[in-house]
Amino acid sequence: MILAAIDVGSTATRLLLSSVEQAAGGGPAFSQIVYVRLPLRLGEDAFLRQAISPLRAEKLCHFMQAFQNLLQAYRVDGYMACATSALREARNAPEIVEKVRARSGIDLEIISGQREAEIISSSYLENRELFQKNHIFVDVGGGSTEITVSLNGQGVSSRSFPLGTLRLLNRQVSPGDWDALKDFLKAQAARYTSIVAIGSGGNIRKIHSLYKKSILQPLQRHEIDGYYKILKSYSLADRILKLKLKPERADVILPATRVYLSAMTWAGVNTIYVPRVSLRDGLLNILYQRRIAAGAPETEAPSTPYEVEAYVH
């Protein structure tokens, strides 16, 4: 079958379209067909002005219309579209959701921070044994950081904290927000022994790739700290020119790295695994499980996957 996930985040709006088959072990095997990422940065409106501007709302509608065209072209068997922190806080979010539905036909659901954390941490992994360990799952986004604590593969606590990269860049995070994350992680760490961290998000994946590690090789805290010090020593322009970071990554990666380092320190862990999981992966897994439960037939997937990356300035 062919499934699609749409993630309307604080920094970017993304579409992941995948084919899925039954793997040898009985679980689903996803194969990416199309991935589109558009750095719209809705959070810059939502967190500063508590509303999405007409210009960004119009761009979002255009993007969703384009996504709908792809859904129709590939004749998807199902899709889920979710919005996170930016639309959670924008006072005109209901109006925008309705405008998106009217213009594109896409039903956009605004999910809570806790629900976001649960979906991300339940993403399907080929390396599923990793999730069987006691772990703290950390996902740093533009508007919030989602934390899920899991014991023996079972989630026991999920929290969302307003510690997103765009908030930090715009000085909208209070000492109390940091204290809340610190207190939560220290309390959780005191309950368990032999716990690891699992990181999700484009920024931690970027750092992981720079160290040329395989999916099974975790980052060490000292490695992240070393890269953080390098980032701090460069201006924004030099991060783009000398470190070769994309402009939409060069500013947010510094506060994101700070959050990951803080979380690891307060949780008392020295290693963080960085599997390829995201909100989009979680949505695809939910769709798959629903369709299997309903007895849905499989359809033939396109034979030539490709990837699209688009940038809007």
With both helix axes pointing from N to C terminus, report the angle between 202-210 and 221-233 in degrees, rounded to the nearest 10.
100
How far apart (Å, rounded) are the C-alpha atoms in residues 167 and 174? 10
What number does CATH give the domain 2-113+278-293?
3.30.420.40
Give the residue-averaged pLDDT of 170-184.
95
Asked if 268 and 149 count as a contact pair (C-beta separation under 8 A), the reply is no
Mean pLDDT of the chain: 88
Could you tell me what percent of the chain has a pLDDT over 90? 66
Specify the pLDDT at position 303.
40
Where exactly are the structural domains of the chain? Answer: 2-113+278-293, 126-273
What is the pLDDT at residue 129? 64
More confident position, 189 or 75 = 75
pLDDT of residue 216: 80
Architecture of domain 126-273: 2-Layer Sandwich (3.30)
What band does 155 get if pLDDT is binned at 50, 70 and 90? low
pLDDT level of residue 196 (50, 70, 90 thresholds): confident
Helix (H, G, I), strand (E, B) or coil at 74: coil
Q: Give me 301's structure tokens.
A: 């997937």
241 contacts: CB under 8 Å, gap ≥ 6: none
Compute the average pLDDT of residues 139-150: 90
One-letter amino acid at 62 equals H
Model pLDDT for residues 217-228, shown as the tens digit of each residue: 999 999 999 999
> Hunting for tokens 């939502």 — which residue is that?
46
Ranked by mean pLDDT, which of 195-209, 251-265, 268-282 comes out on top? Answer: 251-265
Please determine, for residue 154, whether its predicted confidence score (pLDDT) is greater than 80. Answer: no
Fold agreement between 2-113+278-293 and 126-273: yes
Q: What is the pLDDT of residues 17-41, one digit of tens each?
A: 999 887 666 678 889 999 999 999 9
What is the residue type of 184?
A: F
Overall average pLDDT of the 62-73 stretch: 97
The arithmetic mean of pLDDT across residues 63-83, rounded, is: 96
Mean pLDDT of 81-100: 96
* Residue 153 pLDDT > 50: yes
Cα–Cα dist 250/240, whole Å:
6
**Alpha carbon distance 228, 224 (integer Å):** 6
Q: Does the pLDDT value for residue 3 go beyond 70?
A: yes
Angle at 159 between CA 156 and CA 161, to 5 degrees: 160
Give per-residue pLDDT as tens, 91-132. 999 999 999 999 999 999 999 988 888 888 776 544 566 666
Give how far Cα 5 sits from Cα of 37, 67, 109, 176, 281, Å.
Answer: 12, 10, 12, 34, 8
DSSP H or E stretch at residue 36: strand 28-38
